[in-house]
Amino acid sequence: MALLNQHDANHPDALMRPMQSFSSKARRALWNFAWTVLCRPTPKPLHRWRCAVIRLFGGRIGKNNFIYPSARIWAPWLLETGDVATIASGVYVYNVGGVKIGHHAIISEDAFLCGASHDFNSVDFPLVSKPIEIGPYAWICARAVVLPGVHCGDGAVLGAAAVSSKDLQSWKVHAGNPARILGDRARIDQPPNGQATNPAN
């Protein structure tokens, strides 16, 4: 009797067939090994080192990013960030369809950027992926979930533990499940010297 169930690409039952190709699984296995060995044990301040490893695996990472050692990135070659972006501790970037994070955007602790789901109306239960885009100065708060295909506008806020299945409006505060608008966020100006200012102050 076999000790392990094996996926079979030719099996008549769709749930017995693999969701990804062998080459895709091998590439991600190599990436997971590299991150586990080279990045997860590193002290938190070594952001430049972790960014360098992500770039080595095809990630398009901006300058001065803050990517923490306990963050998880499904496929670094499908990740693009602007300058001064943050991916905090415990964040899971499940970027099957690609994830783009704008400059000065913050993904807080244990947030989940979920770039794929399944077509539950099909007997084959196929994987369906869509890109996620987080605009500049957006803030995805702790334990919040962003679902496939969502565009978070510039400066948008998604509150703690909120779930967004629809686009988030720029400079608005959203919370709840499903997320809804609670109010406005003051716009942030970006002067030439790179120091953000709040025009309301």
Q: State what percent of residues in the chain have pLDDT above 70.
A: 92
Q: What does the alpha-carbon distance between residue 71 and residue 77 come to, in Å, rounded to a whole number?
A: 16
pLDDT of residue 171: 98
Q: State what percent of residues in the chain have pLDDT above 90.
A: 79
pLDDT tens-place string over residues 140-181: 999 999 999 999 999 999 999 999 999 999 999 999 999 999
Burial 182-197 (b: 16+ CB within 10 A, else e): eeebeebeeeeeeeee
- Decide yes or no: CATH 2.160.10.10 for domain 20-183: yes
Maximum distance among all Cα pairs of the chain, rounded to whole angstroms: 71
- For residues 103 and 134, the answer to whether their CB atoms sit within 8 Å is no
For the ranges 58-67, 124-133, 134-143, 145-154, the lowest mean pLDDT is seen at 124-133
Q: What does the alpha-carbon distance between residue 91 and residue 149 come to, in Å, rounded to a whole number?
A: 18
For the ranges 114-118, 120-124, 180-184, the lowest mean pLDDT is seen at 120-124
